[in-house]
Amino acid sequence: MIDTMINSIFIDGKWQRAESDKTTTVYNPATLEPIAEVAYGGEVETKKAITAAANAFTTWSEMTGRERSHILYKAYQLMLEETDRLAKILTTEQGKPLKEATGEVKGAANFLLWYAEEASRSYGEWIPSSIKSKRMLVIPQPVGVVGAITPWNFPSSMITRKIAPALAAGCTVVLKPAPETPLSAIEIVKILERAGMPNGVVNLVTGDAEAIGNTLLTSKDVRLITFTGSTAVGKYLMRESAEHVKKLALELGGHAPIIVFDDADLEKAASMSLASKFRNNGQTCICANRLYVHESVKEKFTQALTEKVKQLKIGNGLEDGTDLGPLINEQASIKVQTHLDDAVKKGAQIVCGGTKWNGNMDGYFYEPTILSNITEDMQVMNEETFGPIIPIQAFSDEQAVIEKANDTDYGLAAYIFTEKTSRAIRVSEKLDYGIVGVNDVFPAVAEAPFGGIKQSGIGKEGGHYGMDEFLERKFVSMGI
């Protein structure tokens, strides 16, 4: 047990326990050891948090953008100063290798920096009127109280990516982190507190996901829900938001293809496919789920990728040199095994990996796995695996592979490897995805828009687009 944090609920500037005194245990997914005990809040606490956020809204939204910017910038500095400590906490509750956790914390801090800068740049518009006696203004205003629901795969960056633009815009927030990873959320809120965030502007409720979610959904005061997680829960939030016509920003599942053309730099394509697939053990919504490689280079590419995969070191993320940590829980492990069994039953060949890793820890580890002899009816080609399996299929025709890549309900990220500029542009335009990486698999940055189309989501996070989600545009029509 590294900590007891039963006062993990933060409402109106006060850390508190659940009124019921109930708690829930947080486990280290590498060892399955308990690491902390946090408050198990629900409806009562969420109602109080919403009231606090609604009361703080007027003062916070009427502060100048520059004033809000100073607080966000201070939080950015504090987060950077504490990167090492925060990364260790992140790895301990989530499992990813420390080097990845360190990268995530720095990336999370970047969202604070970017939106500290954007806070003072929320411009309106003066529309040239067609009527001489009228003047027309558009003024941006914050939407109000925001409910932010975040997942466990990026316990730090998913939070700042949502709450930094909300706060910069002048909104107040009730945050509900994933039950698996509340510790990073607690640390971020403590940093915002130390940076001088006024009481009630950011509130945190850990505990019962459904009860907290439903209270956010049924409250008239919550004007926007920003969510990252599964498409199933995203659809539920959409349906339930209809009652009060809430705004929604949804980052949902993905099923990313990587297409390696015959003119690709194969070494680069192999290294980047490795990075895309096995970062966070394949548990990212933009990570490659299926690989299409031109038939003329498939063998060479598969060989290069296999050599790299065989060098990956599995283990506890806190240990030096670890490349792959554990899966988050047993459910994740069962899904990976089910996808593998289904593929093998339908004729897939295991190129490497293909089994659970029997290390010296109790967590749910899985060997990084490459599959070939792939057919379209396999689960791995149709659903998000969220684990370290990559199926490789050959293709011969550009148009046909684009159609295969697009043949899914998802539309978050797709990647292509080609050295031809004309092909890069042509194919990028035809892929039905919100994000296309060309010779690049790391498209999530603070300054650019991240978001899916189709059933992968609504809205953008990052860049000036990310702040637009939290602003209404009020039209002021003036007779003069």
Nearer of residues 213 and 257 to ligand ADP, judged by Cβ: 213
Burial level of 344, CB count in 10 A (0-12/13-18/19+)? middle
Burial level of 373, CB count in 10 A (0-12/13-18/19+)? middle
For residue 44, how many other CB atoms are within 10 A of its CB? Answer: 14
Minimum CB distance to ligand ADP, residue 361 (Å): 22
Using only C-alpha atoms, what is the Rg of the chain?
Answer: 23
CB-hemisphere CA count at 13 Å for 446?
23
CA 465 to chain CA centroid, nearest Å: 16
Nearer of residues 303 and 331 to ligand ADP, judged by Cβ: 331
Minimum CB distance to ligand ADP, residue 366 (Å): 17
| Residues with a known catalytic role | 251, 285
Helix (H) or strand (E) holding 389: strand 389-395
Query: What's the token pair of residue 247?
Result: 């705004």
Query: What's the token pair of residue 88?
Result: 């260790």
Report DSSP letters for 228-260, one per residue: ES-HHHHHHHHHHHGGGT-EEEEE----EEEEE
Phi/psi at 459 (5° precision): 95, 175
Give the binding site for ligand ADP (CB under 6 A): 149-151, 176, 178-179, 209-210, 213, 229-230, 233, 236
Minimum CB distance to ligand ADP, residue 252 (Å): 8
- 68, 449, 289, 389 alpha-carbon torsion, rounded to 10°: -30
Nearer of residues 210 and 341 to ligand ADP, judged by Cβ: 210
Minimum CB distance to ligand ADP, residue 58 (Å): 27
Q: Are 325 and 367 in contact (CB under 8 A)?
A: no
Q: Are 352 and 317 in contact (CB under 8 A)?
A: no
For residue 172, how many other CB atoms are within 10 A of its CB? Answer: 30
Among residues 388, 382, 387, the alpha carbon closest in space to that of 369 is found at: 388
Nearer of residues 383 and 468 to ligand ADP, judged by Cβ: 383
Q: CA-to-CA distance for 12 and 1, rounded, in angstroms?
A: 29
By beta-carbon distance, which residue lies closest to ligand ADP?
A: 213
Minimum CB distance to ligand ADP, residue 441 (Å): 20
Nearer of residues 147 and 437 to ligand ADP, judged by Cβ: 147
Residues 6+ apart with CB under 8 A from 357: 314, 365, 366, 367
Nearer of residues 7 and 230 to ligand ADP, judged by Cβ: 230
Q: Are 184 and 156 in contact (CB under 8 A)?
A: yes
Nearer of residues 382 and 439 to ligand ADP, judged by Cβ: 382
Minimum CB distance to ligand ADP, residue 149 (Å): 5
Minimum CB distance to ligand ADP, residue 147 (Å): 9
Q: In the structure, how many helices (H) and strands (E) does the chain have?
A: 14, 21
